[in-house]
Chains A and B, each alone.
Chain A
């Protein structure tokens, strides 16, 4: 089946090349693939894009570490004490539903306009996603294995460590992958605001202001690659760790 994976992208490039080749739309709005990938090559070969990639990756990584650092323990704990989770359920659901960028101006006042506010928004709003999924995974883990451990005389802590944690691992991964997607979205968007001169989001706006559309497409493409690669890494980790899934 893997070989079919190439069909879509190749078809996409062909159609794109045809549209620009036959001048079906204004070349200003849609530059040719050659122009876009030429630009991409250029910003890599002159090294101009690296600071942006590193800055964005740095913000994403720190946000993720903070989000996981808050979300995993909090989710495991809240899931383990269902009454606590039920008490906070409304708040968690509300925060989950709140558009993260709505609090960005507030965070800028509190954390300043630099990286701290961007990271704080991304980390805090995605930690809620992790908390929700992890707690859900803990609370909905299958009862039969927990019962079996209880029968063996295991303590609550032993049951949590040896059964419930593992039982909820697939759902923990759902939370982590959702969180990464959120973080990429928030960081890229936040970089378009103020307070930074580097970052892929900033680059997109920069190219837009100078009407460099091949550059803009190239930066958008890079943003996509970044999100895709991050997701692929966690998907791989999940397949490795949750080797029993679906079996």
Chain B
């Protein structure tokens, strides 16, 4: 499954997308960053409601392919800027974490 197809399935809003054709091979849901770091595999899609700049740090470190911020939460200004600056893939959906995962 590609980033593209996830965006479509969720009808999500794009914060930044660098490589729409990147292949997603795993997934993780959670908000505690230390759990995400150790449990989200590389090339995964990460569902969260966290919206501060540490999300970008964790996404980079763990080589997470795509972050989906759920429940209509907007990334704060620092996070949005950092995601663009680092060329990370991030989208926002109004769906809850459970509903979002079900659609994929």
Q: Do A and B come from one complex?
A: no
